[in-house]
Structure 1
């Protein structure tokens, strides 16, 4: 493990020894991460910097460097803190894999809508913290006993994450959590379908149906249920075989 990754692992997984030199520590990693999250939530990830976070905490940038080596490590801490540990399943209630994954996906969607900057901060190979990995653990473990291989269970989790990310990106582009991607799409293209519907008869009929649905989140719900349907079909085939 190279030095950069080793430092990230230490920050995300611990232990976190107190600085051996200098003034008595006045900060901790959680406070630092939450200060960065406040900036990212209100202004976007691009506005996060060591200087901005230090100013929000009332310390100098050099003081901040005693705890976090740089912005990359700061963003990694922010991601881990914002995502946090995956909520455990409800106690005292036994549910099947499908209900578990559906609840998990909805919880993940809520998290991404609340912290949409996490989308940009979680692209590509990177070191993940224990909180973030606990989400993957819960999704994979929900499929225990279904007959799917470990690789297939991992792929199922990744497929669901991809759907959550896609819907979050659409919602963010449509104006944030309050925006409805289906309604936005209809508003933009409705006039075009009215004027040029004869060129696009299938689209015209589809948009008319979407309007009749009164702006429900069809893309989210339809995609989620079809992914789960596909998994159910695969699990049934494995059990028959």
Structure 2
């Protein structure tokens, strides 16, 4: 995989900014990348092309190739730039508030840039910012007693919950997904679909009506996070209890090998 992604690795991790020869250029890799992000934010990832970016910048398409080899490498740069710096780890508040803050920040990123969902699927190279997000989430779980594999799995589960909500919001989009929360988009779409169809979907109609009546809608992100965290906490407690339990048949306080 890395051989096929050599261009992305060079741009993401090699720090290449401008051609080494010739006069000081008017373009920059950052300017090209941010123009591409603006296009994707407005019209989706499919709208991004080297020709379109060149037109937006009033340069020729060939000028862009002096900075970035092609769209694959450009998308890699777009992802890492759009992700931005990860939130600083929260200290002294416990792992749940720290991981919740991380999750809410990541949800906001997908909310601002819906094109990140398809862009971050499949084999690819992660950049410094994206890897920093993983580092930040793992740091939140530092004192939980989970081993490395379990911490990574926990981050994958939380990330999956966030992505699922964002994807559903996009697929059921009513209006602009950047103007409302994913839960608001889903609620509006469900209400619209259920008009005149309550007999066919009585359970769904009742659930939506109940959520609206007690103002408990628009909480899918928080609800899911809390249930995931409850599961992790229960797992941690079981492990602690198992390790603290004396061996079967052993007297409390007895030393192994005593006569």
With normalisation by structure 1, the TM-score equals 0.90
Asked if residue 19 in structure 1 is aligned to residue 19 in structure 2, the reply is: yes
Rg (Cα) greater in structure? 2
Which residue in the other structure is 1:139 paired with? 137
CA distance in 1, matches of 2:67, 2:145: 46
Relative distance call for 1:215 and 1:183 in structure 2 (3 A) is farther
Deviation at 1:101, TM superposition (A): 0.6
Which structure 2 residue ranges, 5 or more long, are not aligned? 243-259
Query: Cα–Cα, structure 1 residues 62 and 23, in superposed 2: closer, same or farther, change >3 Å?
Result: farther
More helix by share: 1
Q: Distance in 2 between matches of 1:61 and 1:213?
A: 56
Quote the residue 1:74 is aligned against.
Answer: 74
String of CA shifts for 1:192-230, please: whole Å, max 9, x gaps: 22x346xx5x44442332232447313222111111111
Hey, what's the Cα distance between the residues in 2 that align with 1:26 and 1:37? Answer: 19
**Distance across 1 between alignment mates of 2:153 and 2:14:** 29
Q: Quote how far apart the aligned CAs of 1:191 are.
A: 3.1
> Is 1:107–2:105 an aligned residue pair?
yes
Question: How much does 1:125 deviate?
Answer: 1.8
CA separation in 2, counterparts of 1:52 and 1:215? 44
Say whether residues 1:191 and 2:191 are aligned partners. no
CA contact (8 A) 1:82 1:115 kept: yes
Say whether residues 1:42 and 2:42 are aligned partners: yes
Q: Show structure 1 runs of 5+ residues with no match.
A: none
Q: How far off its partner does 1:34 sit?
A: 0.2
What is the alpha-carbon root mean square deviation over aligned residues?
Answer: 1.9
The change in CA–CA distance for 1:15 and 1:174 in structure 2 (over 3 A counts) is closer
On the 8 A contact 1:50/1:64 being kept in 2, the answer is yes
